[in-house]
Amino acid sequence: MTTTPEDTTPPAHLVLTVEDLAVHVPTEHGLLRAVDGVSFEVRAGRTLGIVGESGSGKSLTAKSLLRLHPAAFRESGRVLLHGADGSGADGTDALDIMELRRDGPMIRAVRGRRIALIFQEPMTAFSPLHTIGDQIMEAILLHRTADRAEARDICLEWMLRVGIGDAQRRIDQYPHEFSGGMRQRAMIAMALSCEPEVLIADEPTTALDVTIQAQVLELMQELQAETGMAIVFITHDLAVVAGTCDEVAVMYLGRIVEQAPVRELFANPQHPYTRGLLRSIPRFGMGRDERLQAIEGTVPQAIDLPAMCSFRDRCGARIEGVCETAEPRLLELTDRHQVRCFLHDPDAPVPDQPVGSTESTASDPAHAPVVPEESPA
């Protein structure tokens, strides 16, 4: 976040690799493919943003990284946590979190210690019956020291670091005595107190008002610069993404539809859904008569989806006779920009006639040739 990552510095070492992650939820109405074929990687000191509407599967993806789903959920794929120096980047020495027993000691040693999680709702993320200090110290006592006095000192130190003044008094207060912003700071202190390698922030600022939101984001950036941790930032707010992330993955209906470095994505969005998202946020310099554009329709439920582009019904650029014939592949436009759309697929089925295509197909043939890799299943 602090450096411009794009092409100046050599890439930082890999911390987390997610390969073909799927979360399928059995429901009364059928199998809900909440997350399907999601792959991404996170590097030390960098921030990956995962963007999507509610129901896109972004929060479920986050919880999967710590195996927090109930046993009834069917998960597959690999979540590789690499060593502190990036060893095992090829996947040999890395710890595959998906292999660990749910709630076993191995995964518990990862939770909070190596991968920490910040939730959306600072109001409900703390138990109302225990003091803030007790809850922050819980992680420290589990992972860092067995000595209560020492744990208390670490806790106080982190409360000060996240900007909670008067920590000596506030450590023994209950959550209801904290404001929303203060609670989110406490939450960050709790997540960072064990100095994790990866911080997953699941809409950490959504419930806060705008000024507090900015403060919390700034705090996270500062702490990232100090500790060099990787951040997976989950949000529906593209404006927040623009200010905080290095890489962005756009999710729709359980799948990543476009992924690119943040500048590239904002300057050169390729998926009609990403474009729609970008058009729906206000920008400086907009004409006063310009209207924000909303994407029509709502996210359908990912149950019994036919094998076709899931965004088809809401897409302004759909190609009749193509988009409903198959699911589009994830294509590499450049080595860091991928998109899942037939507009960019030279191998796409030939349309009968391009009807209703209102968008210019910005596909550049130079980026187009793609050899599909065999799917690991």
What does the binding site for other proteins look like in residue numbers (CB under 8 A)? 19-20, 37, 39-41, 66, 68, 103, 108-113, 116-117, 119, 121, 124-130, 135, 138-139, 142-143, 174, 176-177, 187, 190, 259, 300-301, 304-308, 313, 324-327, 329-332, 335-336, 338, 370-373, 375
User: Is the Cβ of residue 109 or residue 281 nearer to other proteins in the bound state?
Assistant: 109
Q: What are phi and psi of 24, to 5 degrees?
A: -115, 130
Minimal distance in Å, beta carbon 286 to other proteins?
A: 32
Minimal distance in Å, beta carbon 175 to other proteins?
A: 9
The alpha-carbon radius of gyration of the chain (Å, integer) is 22
User: Is the Cβ of residue 243 or residue 325 nearer to other proteins in the bound state?
Assistant: 325
Q: H or E element: which one contains 167? A: helix 167-170
Structure tokens that stand for 20 in this block: 């073909």
Half-sphere exposure of 185 (CA within 13 A, CB side): 26
Minimal distance in Å, beta carbon 269 to other proteins?
A: 18
User: Is the Cβ of residue 275 or residue 340 nearer to other proteins in the bound state?
Assistant: 340
What is the C-alpha separation between 7 and 29, in angstroms, rounded? 47
Minimal distance in Å, beta carbon 290 to other proteins?
A: 30
User: Is the Cβ of residue 147 or residue 290 nearer to other proteins in the bound state?
Assistant: 147
Structure tokens that stand for 114 in this block: 């190596």
Minimal distance in Å, beta carbon 277 to other proteins?
A: 21
Minimal distance in Å, beta carbon 185 to other proteins?
A: 15
Sequence-ordered strand ranges (E) for 150-295 = 198-202, 230-235, 247-252, 255-261
User: Is the Cβ of residue 116 or residue 250 nearer to other proteins in the bound state?
Assistant: 116
User: Which residue from 104, 2, 11, 34 is spatially nearest to 300, judged by alpha carbons?
Assistant: 34
User: Is the Cβ of residue 358 or residue 375 nearer to other proteins in the bound state?
Assistant: 375
User: Which residue from 12, 66, 16 is spatially nearest to 228, judged by alpha carbons?
Assistant: 12
What is the C-alpha separation between 44 and 93, in angstroms, rounded? 17
Helices 180-192 and 132-143 cross at an angle (nearest 10°) of 10
Minimal distance in Å, beta carbon 311 to other proteins?
A: 12
Minimal distance in Å, beta carbon 283 to other proteins?
A: 29
What is the C-alpha separation between 246 and 281, in angstroms, rounded? 19
Question: What is the full DSSP assignment across 14-64?
Answer: EEEEEEEEEEEEEETTEEEEEEEEEEEEEETT-EEEEE--TTSSHHHHHHH
User: Is the Cβ of residue 306 or residue 356 nearer to other proteins in the bound state?
Assistant: 306
Minimal distance in Å, beta carbon 367 to other proteins?
A: 13
User: Is the Cβ of residue 53 or residue 279 nearer to other proteins in the bound state?
Assistant: 53
Q: What are phi and psi of 208, to 5 degrees?
A: -105, 155
Q: Are 34 and 60 in contact (CB under 8 A)?
A: yes
User: Is the Cβ of residue 128 or residue 285 nearer to other proteins in the bound state?
Assistant: 128
